[in-house]
């Protein structure tokens, strides 16, 4: 690095583990002459999983449904094959799904982190409730 000059340092986001997230992969620093610099990046474990959500008959939930994690209130879309990526999971989770037809259903499941990987959980049966 060049002393007293602006130095840009960047982490390639694809170089961190799959189960980690980084909000800002770059930093700027100006080290003094003949000195060291410690540059910290806010990398955190996401505690996320790819869920496969299915209805009572075992068919994947429709694309465009929305899944809300009760503990955080974060809502995510349901994609093809009933898959939804959810972060900030705890050991025991409850998700409420609003289906495209206006009906609601709930899913209860347990989560265990797998270091360096994003686990795929499912199929998870969404137990139906009428609005």
pLDDT higher than 60, residue 124: yes
pLDDT higher than 70, residue 129: no
What structural domains does the chain harbor?
7-44 (no CATH), 47-129 (2.60.40.2070)
Interval 9-26: pLDDT, tens: 888 888 888 778 888 888
Q: With beta carbons less than 8 A apart as the criterion, state whether 51 and 95 touch.
A: yes
Q: What percent of the chain has pLDDT over 90?
A: 46
Identify the CA nearest to 108 among candidates 91, 87, 130.
91
C-alpha 57/C-alpha 75 separation (Å) is 24
Q: What percent of the chain has pLDDT over 70?
A: 98
* DSSP-assigned letter for residue 30: -
Confidence at 131, pLDDT banded by 50, 70, 90: very low
Mean pLDDT of 86-100: 93
The mean of the pLDDT values for the chain is: 89
Interval 41-73: pLDDT, tens: 888 888 889 999 999 889 999 999 999 999 999
Q: Give Cα separations from 58 to 1, 4, 28, 127 (angstroms).
A: 58, 63, 51, 11
């Amino acid at each position: 690095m060049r002393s007293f000059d602006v130095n840009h340092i960047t982490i390639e986001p694809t170089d961190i583990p799959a189960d980690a997230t980084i909000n800002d992969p770059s930093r700027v620093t100006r080290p003094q002459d003949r000195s060291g610099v410690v540059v910290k990046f806010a990398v955190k474990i996401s505690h996320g999983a790819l869920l496969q959500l299915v209805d009572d008959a075992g068919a994947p939930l429709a694309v465009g449904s929305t899944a809300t994690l009760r503990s955080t209130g974060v809502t995510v879309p349901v994609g093809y094959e009933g898959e939804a990526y959810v972060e900030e999971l705890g050991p025991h989770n409850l998700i409420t799904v609003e289906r495209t037809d206006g009906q609601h259903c709930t899913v209860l499941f347990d989560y265990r982190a797998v270091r360096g990987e994003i686990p795929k959980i499912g199929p998870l049966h969404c137990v139906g409730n009428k609005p």
